[in-house]
Structure 1
Amino acid sequence: MVTIKDIAARLQVSPSTVGRALADDPRISAATKQKVTQVADEMGYVANLAARMMRGVSSNLVGLVLPDIRNGFYATIAHALSKCLQSAGYQLALSETDDDRMVELQSVRELASANVAGIIIVPTAKPHRETVRLLKLSPHVQLLRKHAAIGDQWFGIDDTLAIFEATSHLVQLGHRRIGYIGGTDDLPTGSARLKGYHKALAGVASGEPALVQLGAPSEVDFGANATRRLLSLPKPPTAIVAGSVQMTQGILEELLAQGVRAPDDLSVVGFGDELGFRWWGPGLTTVGLPVHDLATACGLWFVHHVRQNSATASPYTSISPATLIVRGSTRKPGPPTKTSVRASLRGATA
């Protein structure tokens, strides 16, 4: 392995000069830095991360801690952040928690031990106090979800408005029995989206408890099972609103399995705009999320924050609006078709 001493010997300078040049020390001239970097590249030099850590020097890694990379929403965020950070000289290190606070703690510990430049996190519902302590030791920002204990730097979506507009669209079409399948209200996103649903129904439509199905937002199976329960009600809803990307997938799978057609038998509004959603049936009416713009804005702000070389920052909030994309899966409520009757009967006997 090529060392700093090897580079110094070739250039006939001291190892300390090479080390400072590679660390972009202001005491070293630009010409010397360029010459050292060129020779280091030619010789195949790779910086010793362990040695840098022992000297207390931060790496060029930025940790991204999120619940579930299988979710296209989070995958898009990871991709956009990676590109944004690469252009600034940083590399993204990805950790997946599956919304488990102990896995989250282990991920943050490992990132902290590697002296990462900072951490971008989609926190779990109840982060461990040690997680909170470790995050406060380095630059960090919350993405999508906001937990008060972690800090006041947050980039998110107006979740309440997103579901309010989705539900209001159905109300304006004349629907009064509207089901909602979303994440549990112990998560800030779940709570905000449920608030938007109830706000849209206030004074105009039924908000009976049986029409609301709450579960883990990353569970496709929950979306399918919740749809089955709603369709088996004595008076099933005439429309359903989804509160997460993967629950939307579960809803669509169950409707297909039961032969329920949208919008003839049931109007559906999804969450997120995965590539397949626009091709599903007549095209899915859905909440479009500003994923790429949100991630890029977060990345640019974070790079600036890291370069300030401070673990703390002034409170900062950036809220991006979602957009309701109206396609063919919603219409005015009409009389049930033979297909919907058969679906309800199958659900009642399941």
Structure 2
Amino acid sequence: MVKMRDVAKLANVSVATVSRVLHNPETVKEATRNKVLSVIDEVNYKPNMLARQFRRNETNIILVVVPSIINTVFSGIIEGIEYEAASHGYRVLLGNTNRKVENEYNLVDLLKKRQTDGMILLSERMDPNYIKSLSEEYPLVLATAYIEGLKVPSVSIDNVSSSREAVEHLISLGHREIAHITGPLQFAISKGRYSGYRQALMQNNIEVRNMLVQEGDFTFESGYNQMLKLMAIEKTPTAIFAANDEMAMGAVKAAKELGLDVPKDIAVVGFDNITFSSKFDPAITTVAQPLFEMGQKSMKLLLQQIQGKPILKSQYILECELLVRDSCGGKIKEKVMNEEIST
């Protein structure tokens, strides 16, 4: 069956241009429009009728697919989505998948049945080719993750450089035995943070020890359990970089139960800057993501597609910030240095 991307390839235009010819032909130059229509006739392309009717049957509802509503990272992004959506007269329908990919595929039916005008994915669990195929027929934005080679409108951060900065901070404090509790390594986010960890060590001539890398699943419990494993090996780490704050907090709990002081005996750094990270004891040093802004930008990109406007740039990477708190010992070092300067 001929698909929209086939028409785009033969006409030497983007898929978005073919979509505009079908939905908003007045926005496309006459010469380009005629070329696309000629190819459509030549290959007997039959557009998805649901997609063709999409603009004429708006629901003013957008679907946000969330792996877990318990995770406050997603709630921060959703806040930004809802703010931008409400300002344009849209409502947000949350689809909580409980981290099950089959639930994500089921939620796509809402999009295909025109019960929602577009979808924002806060997950990368579905097959990338399937996501790409969906994006060619329906308004779709991938938020939080950028999948290499996947040309789908996306909003994310640079997980590699942000993680590298966090680990380099630990190195600047004198640590060389630095462990990493990763997220699930089948996901691009986890791979990016692991890559940043490796880069920081290698660029500072520090050996990457496989025993110091343990895979978690972004939960408090996995941070706790992986920390116990790390502290049971012969040459224990002096610092931990956890791929999110929940695992960092789990690691701190395990360390305390082992009779260790954080950060005097072992330093801990997390990622995300969830609300509780600043209130935890000790307060977690972390990488702060611009969650609200990520949500806002994702909704703006989705609205552009719903309104038939061209997407001039498909990948947006927002800036992060390393927040130094008590769990890594950085505050203690700053205090000592300031005291030395004052004397």
TM range (shorter): 0.7 to 0.9
Q: Counterpart of 2:116 in structure 1: which amino acid?
A: V
Match in the other structure for 1:165: 165
| Equivalent pairs, count | 278
What is residue 105 of structure 1 aligned with on the other side? 105
Aligned to 2:328: 330
Q: 1:136 to 1:257 in 2, by over 3 A?
A: farther
How much does 1:56 deviate? 5.6
Which stretch shows the higher mean deviation, 117-126 or 173-182? 117-126
The structure-2 alpha-carbon separation of the partners of 1:149 and 1:100, relative to structure 1 and needing over 3 Å to count, comes to farther
| Residue 129 of structure 1, CA deviation | 5.6
> Is 1:243 aligned with 2:243?
yes
Secondary structure at the counterpart of residue 184 of structure 1: coil
Contact 1:105 1:130 in 2 (8 A): no
**Cα distance, 1:61 vs. partner?**
0.6
Given the superposition, is the C-alpha separation of residues 134 and 70 from structure 1 closer, same or farther in structure 2, using an over 3 Å criterion?
Answer: same
TM-superposed deviation, 1:135: 4.3
Aligned equivalents of 1:322, 1:253: Cα separation in 2: 26
Per-residue CA deviations over 1:133-177 (Å, capped at 9, x if unaligned) read 444321111101234686331100110011100000011111010
For the pair shown, the structure with the greater C-alpha radius of gyration is: 1
| 2:205 aligned residue | 204
Partner of 1:139: 139
Q: 1:112 to 1:248 in 2, by over 3 A?
A: farther
1 CA distance for matches of 2:150 and 2:121? 10
2:141 and 2:302 in contact (8 A); partners too:
yes
Gaps of at least 5 residues in structure 2 are 1-52, 331-343
Compute the displacement of 1:195 (Å). 0.6
SS, match of residue 65 in structure 2: strand
Q: Offset of 1:116 from its aligned partner?
A: 1.3
Q: 1:285 to 1:245 in 2, by over 3 A?
A: closer
Match of 1:216 in 2: 217
Which moved further from structure 2: 82-91 or 268-277?
Answer: 268-277
CA distance in 2, matches of 1:304, 1:181: 38
Partner of 1:337: none
Q: Secondary structure at the match of 1:136?
A: helix
> What is the alpha-carbon distance in structure 1 between the residues aligned to residue 226 and residue 54 of structure 2?
52
Could you tell me which residue of structure 2 aligns to residue 304 of structure 1? 304
TM-score with structure 1 length normalisation? 0.73
CA drift of 1:301 comes to 2.9
Counterparts of 1:152 and 1:55 in 2: how far apart (Å)?
Answer: 20
Contact 2:55 2:306 in 1 (8 A): no
Partner of 1:318, secondary structure, is strand
Q: Is the 8 A contact 2:74 2:122 kept in 1?
A: no
After TM superposition, list the pairs within 5 Å mapping 1:17-56 onto structure 2: none
Using the alignment, how far apart are the partners of 1:205 and 1:322 within structure 2? Answer: 25
Contact 1:101 1:128 in 2 (8 A): no
Q: Partners of 1:252 and 1:97 in 2: how far apart?
A: 29
Alignment of 1:313-324 (within 5 A): 313-324=311-322
The reply to whether residue 94 of structure 1 matches residue 115 of structure 2 is: no
Mapped contact 1:284–1:329 kept (Cα < 8 A): yes
Alpha carbons 2:121, 2:143 under 8 Å: kept:
yes
List gaps (5 residues or longer) in structure 1.
Answer: 1-52, 333-350
Rounded Cα–Cα distance in structure 2 between residues aligned with 1:194 and 1:277: 21
2:212 maps to a residue whose letter is L
**8 Å contact 2:256–2:262 — kept in the other structure?**
no
Q: After alignment, is 194-203 or 298-307 more displaced?
A: 298-307
User: Which amino acid is the alignment partner of residue 94 of structure 2?
Assistant: L
- Structure 1 pair 150/176, CA: closer, same or farther in 2 (3 Å)? closer
Q: Is the 8 A contact 2:54 2:117 kept in 1?
A: no
Following the alignment from structure 2 to structure 1, what is the Cα–Cα distance between the partners of residues 192 and 273? 19
RMSD: 2.5
SS of equivalent to 1:75: helix
AA in 2 matched with 1:104? E
